[in-house]
Amino acid sequence: MAVEFISYGYDTAPGEGIGELVWQDMFPAIGTASYAVRSPTDWKVTAVSGADRTVSIAAGRGFGLGVIDKTAANDTIQLDPITSGSRWDLIACRRDPTPTKGKSEFIKINGGATPVIPGGRLSGPGIHDQPLALVQVTAGQTQPTGFIDLRTWSGDGGGLVANHDLVRTFLNQVGTRLQINGIDWVRRVGDNDTPEWAKLSELGKLSLFASGPALLGSPSAGQGFLTQAGSYVGKTDGAGFERLTFPSAFPNGLLSVVIFNGDGWASGPGVTMAAAGNVTVNGTPNFFGQSGFGTKADLVYEVRNADGTMALNKPHRVNWLAIGW
């Protein structure tokens, strides 16, 4: 027997309709997200031990497209068998506003061999399915062999938190902000008014910034460029060279680097710094790249005294600006 849903937001809600307490419960969800659940444990999908291809949906609250639902007990769904290979099925909350009082229920939608949202999922308006998890069924196995959590959580300020990148395939309206495993994403309007996802930041890592149009010509025509800048304190080796490692390696390649003396009062007037050629510092070569020096992750530079001689074993500060893609 399916679990009982208590739902608000259909044409006719149970009891006396949407009163003050129900409205307070619904308010945080309105206008902040198309779909979400209330807490980390609400509507979590897990395997049922000892049951054949059966999953459990934990009790809790969820909302989607103006309807909020509460289940007081867990529900179970048995997935269809498979004779060979594996299949990824979607577990979802289906909301159907067409009955007299509306109806919410947990459902399964059979998928394919790859973990994607099945084409049979309904997205509304009208009948719509809130994705909760993808579950993998494998031939010869009685227990599910894989889970992908598709739940989302909304909070004050309109932000959304999710656990997997697949969420971006169904929550993809322009303006959507999602944080997934420490990465902050925004759905924006790109070239030719085409919606696209852009990575804003990554927790614990330096963001790569850029502005202006896409690059022209070789090696990366049409791609956006990335910039990094900083100030580095180092000491040259016995030949007058030092290695600068960028806080974040460029994804594809290095275009150019500008470096200059950042500490003239300490290093002395006339000290110059420039990117080095194909030399080796601390056992690692400074490979020639697209720009003639450096790699995606670092470059070697040289420090010279005012008379032009190499500054050997010299403490110094270098300010730098790197452009890559």
The last residue of a domain, from among 155, 182, 216: 155
143, 232: one domain:
no
**Token pair in block for residue 125:** 């308006």
148, 11: one domain:
yes
The last residue of a domain, from among 155, 171, 203: 155
55, 134: one domain:
yes
Q: Which range of residues forms the domain containing residue 250?
A: 226-324
- Evaluate whether residue 117 is within a structural domain: yes
20, 145: one domain:
yes
- Evaluate whether residue 192 is within a structural domain: no
136, 237: one domain:
no
Say whether pLDDT at 13 is over 60. Answer: no
- Evaluate whether residue 196 is within a structural domain: no
- Evaluate whether residue 179 is within a structural domain: no
Say whether pLDDT at 285 is over 50. Answer: no
Q: What's CA 111's distance to the chain center, in Å?
A: 24
Q: Are strands 45-47 and 54-57 parallel, antiparallel or unpaired?
A: antiparallel
Q: What's CA 66's distance to the chain center, in Å?
A: 26
Say whether pLDDT at 118 is over 80. Answer: yes
Q: Are 284 and 276 in contact (CB under 8 A)?
A: no
255, 146: one domain:
no
- Evaluate whether residue 111 is within a structural domain: yes
**Which pLDDT score, from 0 to 100, does residue 215 have?**
73
Dump pLDDT digits (tens) for 179-235.
Answer: 998 888 888 888 788 998 887 765 555 667 777 776 776 666 667 788 889 899 989
The CATH number assigned to the domain holding 103 equals 2.60.520
Backbone Cα Rg of the chain: 28
Band of residue 84 on the pLDDT scale cut at 50, 70, 90: very high
The last residue of a domain, from among 155, 176, 203: 155
* Residue 185, CA distances (Å) to 40, 53, 165, 188 in order: 20, 35, 10, 9
Q: Output the average pLDDT for the chain.
A: 82
Band of residue 325 on the pLDDT scale cut at 50, 70, 90: confident
249, 147: one domain:
no
Q: What is the mean pLDDT of residues 253-269?
A: 72
- Evaluate whether residue 95 is within a structural domain: yes
β-strand partners of 179: 161, 184
Structural domain total, the chain: 2
- Evaluate whether residue 300 is within a structural domain: yes
11, 146: one domain:
yes
44, 130: one domain:
yes
144, 283: one domain:
no
Q: Which amino acid is located at 218 in the chain?
A: S
Q: Are 232 and 293 in contact (CB under 8 A)?
A: no
The CATH number assigned to the domain holding 286 equals 2.60.40.3940
* 3-state SS assignment for residue 10: coil
* 3-state SS assignment for residue 12: coil
**Token pair in block for residue 72:** 């007081």
149, 9: one domain:
yes
- Evaluate whether residue 22 is within a structural domain: yes
**Token pair in block for residue 227:** 């910039």
